[in-house]
Structure formats: C-alpha cells, structure tokens
Amino acid sequence: MEIEKKDIRALSKEQLRDFFVANGDKSFRGNQVYEWLWSKGAHSFDDMTNLAKGTRGMLESNFVINHIKVDTMQRSEDGTVKNALRLHDGLVVESVLIPTKTRTTACVSSQVGCSLDCNFCATARLKRMRNLEPAEIYDQVIAIDRESKLYYNHPLSNIVFMGMGEPLMNYNNVMKAIEMITSEEGLGMSPKRIMVSTSGIPKMIKKLADDDVKFKLAVSLHSAIDEIRARIMPFSANFPLADLRESLEYWYRKTKSKVSYEYVVWKGINDNQESVDALVKFCKYVPCKVNLIEYNPIDDGEFQQASEEATNAYIKGLQSIGVVVKVRRSRGKDIDAACGQLANKEA
C-alpha cells in the first residue's frame, strides 16, 4: 500500500530544519527549501536548483507540493477577474480580483463551501466540505497577485476574506496564511491592508482581540434586530446581538481598531425605519464604519435589493450620528463574482 505523502508546505521552517538534521544533512538546507516554497513559489522539487539531485530525490520520496491550479479564469466587463481553483483533492474554490482606480483587492475563500447558512448566499447552498489549508489560502493570493501584475501592472494592494466560508470557523489556518502573507518570506504585505470578514461569532472575535491581530475586522451585520437577523442568517439565533456587541466592545478596547459593518438592505426585510433606527443605535456602541452593499439576487426568491429610498434612509440616519457610510456597488455581476454569488457554477 502506498503511503500518502505529506504536503511539505504544512511544515514550519523549524520543522524543515529538523527534518534535514534528522536525515544527516545541515539545518540551513531547511531554510533553502522554505525559501523555494514560499518566496520563490516552487511548484516542484526539481525547481529547487541549488539543491543536490539526491536531496531533491529525498524530498520527492517523502513529500508532495499541493499547489492549487487555476482551473478557469473569467474576466468581467468591469475588469473583475474570477478564478475557479482546483485543489489537490479535486474540490474547487473561487477567489476574485477586484480592481479600482487606486487599488486591486483580492477576495479570498477560507473554506470549501461554508459552515453557516446565510439565506441570501449562494455559497451556503454548497454546505461546508472542508477547511482550506494555509497554503491553499496563500496560493489564492499569489494567483491574484500575478493576475494583478499581468492585467493592471501593479501588485495586489489589499486582501479581504469575504469569499467562500466563514474565516473564523477555520481560525488557525487563516491565521497561519495571514502570517505568511505578511511575512518577509511571503508577500510582505502590511496587515493593515487585510480585512477579515466574519458573520459575527462573539467567542472568536474575542479570541482575535486576545491574539493581538493587526488586520482589520468586518462583521456582516445585515440587521441590528435579533429576529430579523435570524431570518437572514439563521445560525445567528445562537449568537444574540447583545453578545456580538459585547465581543466588539472587547475587540475595540484591546485593538483600538474600528469595525466595519457590512450591510445589505433587502426589500420587505430590513427596509423599514425601525431597522434603520436599530442600526443607528448599534453603531453607537463601538467606533465603526458601515458599508451598504448592493445585492445580487441569487434567484427570484425572498431576497431582493431594496429601493434607493430605503438605502438613503440608512445613509441619512448614520450620517446624523457621524458614522462614515459607503455604498458599495457590486462588481463582476456578469460572471457571478459579486458578493454572495460564489458557488462553483463552472466546476
């Protein structure tokens, strides 16, 4: 029976150094391999040209490099690029490159499918198949960085964890991926340019604060009224807004970093004055910004974009208490790359 080989990128630099020492070689060989894997993005052991043939062969017989492959790439008429990425076990995740005049942003996935059940979201229909490994998250970023240079002549400037999956349900792997993205051996990107977006799991928000993370936090709020929020995001019935509020106060006390609330206004769901007033009240608890996001219906069911007047009522309410509010137009609609639309349709 053939033994399944381990992905070498699951090893830390120290573990790689130990591996070489245990195999009668010098520990610095571990540094060389680490550099090939992360800084130089080697896809095979044969690429590691400063290693002796015997060393490459030894690595080959012990490990694999599970790189993700771009399966299909679609470009929207607005310049948005969507990648469907094939993982080593055949599963597919999607990530998106969103260009604007001043920046290019990667929207990356953290799980295949999602653990949660937001009713407006196409990914939720896939259910969670598995968590992504740190290297699989990192590879999405590298693929988009390459495309950003190719199509827009500059490297990727920002990353948002708003693709498939709830990042805080894959906490350790997301943290490891961010460590790599921000390290000098990886992309050397400032954590201030990274935003992790959660559907709002209080215990994990507190953990982020305790772990003293330096990236930004966004919360998909969508309603500041428990009953309405539970209709939109059924799992949130287990996490009342009072608990979410407490965790965000804790986050701000520890990090002094503003929270961004992601909010969609849907017709007949939260397009009323009571919802506006509730959000305005919620926004007073913790320094914050609000992004009102244009919605892309995934079918002709319950969730449809509300009228412009409804959105304007939110803008007026939030501005009256000095909260910065932005209306985010959706990008990449024609290729199903917009918010809530990632569902592996091409896979």
Given the rule CB under 6 A, which residues bind ligand SF4? 114, 116, 118, 121, 123-124, 164-166, 199
Minimum CB distance to ligand SF4 smaller for 65 or for 205: 205
Q: Which is nearer to ligand SF4, 51 or 126 (CB)?
A: 126
Nearer to ligand SF4, 121 or 181 (CB): 121
Rounded distance, CA 195 to CA 163, Å?
12
**How near is the Cβ of 166 to ligand SF4 at its closest, in Å?**
4
Beta-carbon count within 10 A of 203 CB: 10
Note if 114 is an active site residue: no
Structure tokens that stand for 286 in this block: 């913790």
Q: CB-hemisphere CA count at 13 Å for 186? A: 23
Measured CA to CA, the distance from residue 313 to residue 63 in angstroms comes to 57
Q: Which is nearer to ligand SF4, 286 or 293 (CB)?
A: 293
Least distance (Å) from ligand SF4 to the CB of residue 264? 10
> In whole angstroms, how close is the CB of 220 to ligand SF4 at the nearest point?
6
Minimum distance, C-beta of residue 199 to ligand SF4, in the bound complex (Å): 4
| Closer residue to ligand SF4, CB minimum distance, 16 or 107 | 107
State the minimum distance, in angstroms, from the CB of residue 339 to ligand SF4: 8
Closest to 339 measured CA to CA, from 292, 302, 301: 292
Could you tell me the smallest distance in angstroms from the CB atom of residue 294 to ligand SF4?
A: 15
Q: Is the Cβ–Cβ distance between 166 and 110 less than 8 Å? A: yes
Q: CA-based Rg of the chain, rounded to a whole angstrom?
A: 22
Q: Min. distance of Cβ 234 from ligand SF4 in angstroms?
A: 10
| Residue (189 or 264) nearer to ligand SF4, CB | 264
Cα distance between residue 109 and residue 99, in whole Å = 18
The angle subtended at Cα 58 by Cα 53 and Cα 59, nearest 5°, is 100
94 is catalytic: yes
Structure tokens at 184: 């000098």
94, 133, 166, 262: the active-site residue? 94
Catalytic residue among 77, 179, 339, 346: 339
Cβ proximity to ligand SF4, 76 vs 110, nearer residue: 110
Catalytic positions, please? 94, 339
